[in-house]
Amino acid sequence: MSTVVTRIPPSPTGRFHIGTARTALFNYLFARHHGGSVVFRSEDTDRARSKKEYEDEIIAGLTWLGISWDSFSRQSENTDRYHELLEKLVAEGKAYVSSEPAKDDQTKTVEVVRLKNPGASITFTDLIRGDITFDTTELGDFVIARSMTDALYHFAAVVDDMDAKISHVIRGEDGLSNTPRQILIQEALGAPRPAYAHLPLILDDKRAKLSKRSGTATSVMDYRDEGFLPEAIVNYLALLGWNPGDDREEFSLEQLVEEFSLEHVQKSGASWNRDKLLSVNQHWMRRLSDEDFIKHLDSATADTRCQNAFQTPGVQQSRVHKAVPLLKDRAQTFAEAREMLSGELLCLFEKPSLDLAKLVAKEPTERPGMTKTALESLSEALKSLPDDVSAESAKEALMSLADAEEAKGKGGRGGTLWPLRYALSGQERSPDPFTLISILGREEAVSRVEKAIAILEG
């Protein structure tokens, strides 16, 4: 069995695209699964469009995802080799220099290099789709280099694959139609033919190839910045076009290396589904320890949205810590978690401003006097609790009061629970009052309830 060598050949002409990530992931998984190696190759032959910053982003993004490689090269640094082989092909009569009008400026003449196309029918085996046959006559003598010293993509890619002894070319389905062209170059060069596997494309909601104009974010870094975890991206991407053969859906990168097989790769394109990604991300967020969860939140406090939660060390931070289970319940991304800390959960860090009408008007049957009485007994009961009371014991201690009110026919538990929760949160929607008390502490809770009582009196 020959050694497996795959390639990750991004073109640094744009941001780190989801499709690039998925293809890279599958190449990585296949190679690692078979104990082979991975070659990273920056395909920067188009010097006008290639940018170092894009290359940097792609490398940073792949690293963030946990995808690694064993060797690194740039096509722009391999031009001597292309020149050498171009000369060889021309000398052998397998390619020729052609003088023709420039594409962009018909008044100028340029000398491009064309491959002499034997014009045969080519059949190759795709590991995912089976045998595929193309008639190459329609390709004609296609251009393989702008000049003897300026190779074009197809030529450079074939030379590099040959020199790197690539065993498997795993790429997107959009490369399928290019395969016969590359095989023609291989045959002219006398290079061995690697195995091919063309992955189904990632589609947008209109079922067209996912692109920047699709309306969805296509840069992996945007997802990172929004607070998606690399584990979630990898897990979701792997399941987009691949399945383990059974119902399992949770996979770490290590598990994927273990399980991955091209036989379970789908043939048809898959739509990008943000909702599903969100759900996968929430899953991995919940898997984080509370400490790690806070690190993710904390690393973004430059983002002023949740500064309030972190600004005062001590009390505030201990409340952040206690709020983590709440955030794990409610947030699907860290961006959402941060928004909650400065929005619906802000009451954990700031005293709310209360509205008399909302305090008593939840049920039409309620009257201020009753609400006041209820809050007063609640306040008394609260005072007897330890300052670091748990949500469970707060509930135990206070629920009997709510039940007593209910027994008196004063609007049920809600007649008590609603004003309590509102007094603590100042919001129509919030976590339950007992959880709030456990996070705020007895002292702060009593203070807020008494403030509510004062409003009812005033």
> For the range 383-391, what are the long-range contacts, defined as Cβ-Cβ under 8 Å and sequence gap of 24 or more?
383/442, 383/446, 385/437, 385/442, 386/442, 387/441, 387/442, 387/443, 388/441, 388/442, 389/437, 389/438, 389/441, 389/442, 390/438, 391/432, 391/434, 391/435, 391/437, 391/438
d(CA 25, CA 43): 18
* Structure token digits, residue 288: 């984080």
Alpha carbon distances (Å) from 237 to 42, 188, 319, 369, 456: 22, 37, 35, 58, 55
Residue 292: CB minimum distance to RNA, A: 19
Return the exposure string of 260-270: e unless at least 16 CB atoms fall within 10 Å of the residue's CB, then b: bebeebeeebb
Q: What values do phi and psi take at 441, rounded to 5?
A: 90, 155
b/e map of 320-343 (b: 16 or more CB within 10 Å)? bebbbbbbbeebbbbbbbbbbbbe
Binder among 3, 149, 177, 318 for RNA (CB under 7 A): 177
- Select 133 or 289, whichever has its Cβ closest to RNA: 133
**Near RNA by CB under 7 A: residue from 53, 138, 291, 457:** 138
Nearer to RNA, 331 or 458 (CB): 331
We find the least distance from the C-beta atom of residue 293 to RNA, in angstroms, to be 15
- Min. distance of Cβ 305 from RNA in angstroms? 19
Three-class DSSP category at 34 = coil
Task: Report the distance separating Cα 152 and Cα 79, nearest Å.
Answer: 10
Q: Which is nearer to RNA, 268 or 304 (CB)?
A: 268
Range 281-320, binding RNA (CB under 7 A): none
Q: Which of 19, 227, 415, 426 binds RNA (CB under 7 A)?
A: 415
Alpha carbon distance 153, 130 (integer Å): 26
Q: Does residue 252 come out as left (phi exceeding 0), alpha (psi in the -120 to 50 range) or beta?
A: beta
State the minimum distance, in angstroms, from the CB of residue 171 to RNA.
9
> Binding mask 76-105 vs RNA (x if CB under 7 A, - otherwise)?
------------------------xxxx--
Identify residues 182-221 at the interface with RNA (CB under 7 A). 200-201, 203, 206-209
Distance (Å, whole) CA 3 – CA 446: 70
Least Cβ distance, residue 393 to RNA (angstroms): 16
Residue of 77, 84, 135, 392 interacting with RNA (CB under 7 A): 135
CA distances from 397 to 77, 284, 386, 433 (A): 74, 35, 11, 12
Smallest gap from Cβ 120 to RNA, in A, equals 14
Binding test (CB under 7 A) with RNA, winner from 413, 447, 450, 451? 413
Which of 118, 245 has the CB closer to RNA? 245
Work out which of 52, 192, 212, 267 binds RNA, going by CB under 7 A: 267
CB of 266 to RNA, least distance (A): 4
Pick the closer one to RNA by CB: 3 or 363.
363
Q: What sign has the CA pseudo-torsion 211, 217, 218, 219? A: positive
Q: Does 153 bind RNA (CB under 7 A)?
A: yes
Which part of the chain contacts RNA (CB under 7 A), choosing from 183-191, 266-274, 371-379, 381-389?
266-274
Print burial letters for 356-381: b (CB count within 10 Å at least 16), e (below 16): eeebbebeeebeeebbbbbbeebbeb
From the list 78-86, 218-226, 274-282, 294-302, the region that binds RNA by CB under 7 A is: 274-282
Measured distance CA(299)–CA(242) in Å, rounded: 33
Residue 230 interacts with RNA (CB under 7 A)?
Answer: no
Task: Examine residue 396 and tell whether it contacts RNA (CB under 7 A).
Answer: no
Near RNA in 20-49, by CB under 7 A: 43-46, 49
Least distance from C-beta 426 to RNA, angstroms? 11
Stretch that binds RNA, among 82-90, 152-160, 254-262, 368-376 (CB under 7 A): 152-160
Q: Does 132 bind RNA (CB under 7 A)?
A: yes
Is residue 40 within 8 Å of 259, Cβ to Cβ? no
Q: What span, in angstroms and rounded, lies between the C-alpha atoms of 224 and 419?
A: 40
- Tell me the window of 57-65, 160-168, 315-323, 421-429 that interacts with RNA (CB under 7 A): 421-429
Strand 121-126 with 130-135, pairing: antiparallel
Per-residue mark of binding to RNA, 335-374 (x: CB under 7 A):
---------------------------xx-----------
DSSP three-state, residue 136 = helix
Q: Residues binding RNA: what is the number (CB under 7 A)?
A: 79
Choice between 429 and 457, CB closer to RNA: 429
31's tokens: 């190679």
Asked if 141 is part of the footprint of RNA (rule: CB under 7 A), the reply reads no
Question: At its nearest, how many Å lie between RNA and the CB of residue 135?
Answer: 6
Which residue number, 411 or 441, has a Cβ lying nearer to RNA?
411
